[in-house]
Structures are given as structure tokens and as C-alpha cells.
Homo-oligomer: A and B are copies of this chain.
Amino acid sequence: MKQLQEKIASEGRVLSEDVLKVDSFLNHQIDPKLMQAIGEEFSRRFEHDGITKILTIESSGIAPAVMAGLIMGVPVVFARKRASLTLTEGLISADVKSFTKQTVNTISVSGDYVTSDDTLLIIDDFLANGQAALGLLDIAGRAGASVAGVGIVIEKGFQQGGKLLREQGVRVESLAIIDSLADGKATFREEAETR
């Protein structure tokens, strides 16, 4: 997605060969118009897949997921990383390893909102090691829901998540794939190869 690549090139800050900071439009400050364009692109890519619901994870997945949900006309459910006072019964949970923080977090959704009647589109802001996406796929499986695919805003193509998911037969649609952050600069995979 050209508009997204240009935004990453102009505003993204490469902090190391592993870390890209996109806090000016995606992870902390949010550019709503770009989120709308991202939602339109996800909608275009999954328009024939009978999606009934979008599943994402708090917090940075919510903005692109809600825009996609608006355009596709389906509700959005976001998995929670912490227990909520008013959300305790009928939880479906999965463990998510964080390689950067060396921790394991439990993520949860209510079984009221993800069921065996659903065909899910899983959306997240980043795909790196794939642990968050695997956790959401785990939750979908436990709920008996179908998953049409995983929509990612930015995939770090030099980490293993994309390969891991695609090898499992999961359809992954990444709107930008970064093959390298070497020399302080993001190098993108060609658009034709981003599927």
C-alpha cells in the first residue's frame, strides 16, 4: 500500500535494526485519515470472504480494526491484555509470549462475542514474531470460529512471524512489509510480493 509506505518512509524512525517507531501515526498518535485508507484496503482484500466480525487486540490494533469494521459493516472485538472488573464470565484466553519484554501475557475475549457462527478477520498493527497473531488464532480456534485471514498494517519481513503463519496455511495480508531496517532506513518488499 503505497500511501502507507510513504508515511513510514517519511515519519517512521528507525531506532535499531529491529525497532521501527511509528508513534506519529499508528501506535501513539493516530492519523485517522490513514486509518480510513487502511480500513478500505483491508475491506478490498477480504470483501469476498464472508467476514462476520473483526478480531484485534488492544491497544494499537483498535484504530485500523474499527475503520475496517465501519467499511465492511461488521462489529469489532478487541482482546484484552488485562482482566477487566466487569468482564469475568465465559472468557476465552490464550498466552502470548513477548520476545522483547521476555514475558508471557494472557489475552482474553468474551465467548459472547466470538462464536462458532463467526468468520473472522484478525487485524493487528504489527507482525514481528507472530505471537499476538498466534494468540488470536488460538482464541478463534477455541471459540470454534473460522478465520478468513490475518490483516497486518506493518509486517517486519525479517522476523519470523509472517513465515510461521503462512507455513501454517494462514492467509496473511500485510499492507507494508519491511525487509530490512539496516542503515537507519526501512527497505520495503515490492508490492507484488507482499501477499
Q: Are A70 and B28 in contact (CB under 8 A)?
A: no
Whether A66 touches B69, Cβ cut-off 8 Å, given contacts A28-B109, A77-B30, A78-B59, is no
Within 8 Å of chain B (Cβ to Cβ): is A10?
no
A76 interface residue (CB < 8 Å to B) = yes
Residues B32 and A69 in contact, CB atoms below 8 Å apart: yes
Residues of A at the B interface (CB closer than 8 Å) are: 15, 19, 21, 23-25, 27-33, 35-36, 58-59, 62-63, 66-67, 69-70, 73-78, 80, 84-87, 100-101, 109-110, 112-113
User: Smallest CB-CB separation from A98: which chain B residue?
Assistant: B85
Number of copies: 2
A86–chain B nearest beta-carbon distance, Å: 5
B59 near A113 with CB under 8 A, answer no
| Complex contacts, A62 vs chain B, CB 8 Å | 30, 59, 62-63, 66
Residues of B within 8 Å of A70, CB to CB, are 32-33, 35-36, 67
Select the residue from A19, A23, A29, A87 with max chain B CB neighbours within 10 A. A29
Besides A30-B75, A31-B75, 18 more A-B contacts (Cβ < 8 Å) are A19-B86, A21-B87, A23-B87, A23-B110, A24-B113, A27-B86, A27-B87, A28-B77, A28-B80, A28-B113, A29-B75, A29-B113, A30-B62, A32-B66, A32-B74, A33-B70, A62-B66, A66-B66
